Copies of this chain bind each other. A is one copy, B any other.
Amino acid sequence: MIHEISVFLVVELVGTVAFACSGAMVAIEKRLDLLGVIVLGVITAVGGGMIRDILIGTRPPSLFLNPVYVATALIAVLILFFIMKFSRRCQDLLYSETYEGMMNFMDAIGLGVFTVVGMDTAINAGYGEYRFLMVFLGVITGVGGGILRDIMAVQTPYVLKKHIYACASLAGALCYMILLPRMERDGAVVISACLVVTIRVLARKYRWNLPRIEIRDRE
Residues of A within 8 A of B (CB): 27-36, 39-40, 54-57, 59-61, 64-65, 67, 70, 81, 84-85, 91, 95, 127, 130, 132-133, 136, 147, 151-157, 159-162, 166-167, 209-213, 215, 218
Contacts and interface: CB of A to CB of B under 8 A. Distances in A.
A161 B31 contact: yes
B160 A35 contact: yes
Given A54-B55, A84-B215, 6 more contacts: A29-B215, A33-B161, A34-B212, A35-B210, A60-B127, A151-B152
A187 to B, nearest CB: 28
A34 B64 contact: no
A130 B60 contact: yes
A160 B33 contact: yes
Contacts of A36: 157, 159-161
A29 B218 CA distance: 10
Nearest to A147: B152
Contacts of A153: 156
Contacts of A33: 160-162, 209-212
Given A130-B65, A132-B67, A160 B31 contact: no
A47 B152 CA distance: 15
Contacts of A81: 213
A43 to B, nearest CB: 10
Contacts of A210: 33-35
11 contacts: A28-B215, A30-B156, A32-B160, A33-B210, A35-B160, A36-B159, A57-B57, A60-B130, A60-B133, A85-B211, A153-B156
List 4 A-B pairs, minimum CB-CB distance, nearest first.
A36-B160, A57-B59, A33-B210, A64-B133
